[in-house]
Amino acid sequence: MLENLSAAKIVSLVTSKEIKTTEVVDYYLSQIKKYNPKLNAIVSLKKEEQIKIEANNFENSSDKIGLIPGMPLAIKDITDAKGFPTTYGLPEYKNNIASKNSIIVERLINQGAIIIGKTNTPELAVGGHTMNKIFGSTANAYDTSKSAGGSSGGAATAVAASLVPFADGTDMMGSLRNPPAFSNLYGFRPTPGVIPEDRSDFKKNYPILQSAGCIAKTPNELALFLDAIAGKHELDPISFDLTSSFRDKEFSDSEFLNLKIAWLGDMQGQYKFESGIIELCENKLQILEKNSIKIEYLNPELDTEQLWECFTTLRSKIQYEDYSKMELISLENLSIPPRWEYDAGKKIKNQDFHKSMISRADYTKIVNSLFLRFDFLVLPAAQMFPFDKNLPFPKKLGTMEFDTYHRWLEVVILSSLFSLPTVTVPVGFSEMGLPMGMQIIAKKGDDLNLIAFAKRYEELFRLSKFKPKNLD
DSSP-derived secondary structure letter, 172: S
**Helix, strand or coil for residue 131?**
strand
DSSP-assigned beta bridge partners for residue 117: 74
In the set 44, 147, 152, 175, the catalytic residue is: 175
Residues 6+ apart with CB under 8 A from 19: 2, 10, 13
In the set 44, 46, 76, 464, the catalytic residue is: 76
Q: Is 175 a catalytic residue?
A: yes
Helix (H) or strand (E) holding 376: strand 376-380
Cis peptide before 151 (omega within 30 of 0): yes
Q: Which amino acid is at 445?
A: G
Q: Is 269 exposed, middle or buried (0-12, 13-18, 19+ CB in 10 A)?
A: exposed
Cα separation, 277 vs 429, whole angstroms = 9
Cα separation, 105 vs 115, whole angstroms = 8
DSSP-assigned beta bridge partners for residue 146: 388
State CA 212 to chain mean position distance.
8
Alpha helix locations (H) across 166-216? 178-182
Q: What is the DSSP string of 242-268?
A: -SS-TTT----HHHHHT-EEEE-TTTT
Residues 6+ apart with CB under 8 A from 297: 263, 265
Please check whether residue 408 is in contact with residue 394, taking contact to mean a CB–CB distance below 8 angstroms.
yes
Cα separation, 263 vs 135, whole angstroms = 39
Q: Is the dihedral of CA 15, 233, 443, 354 positive or negative?
A: negative
In the set 102, 151, 162, 356, the catalytic residue is: 151
* Residues taking part in catalysis: 76, 151, 175
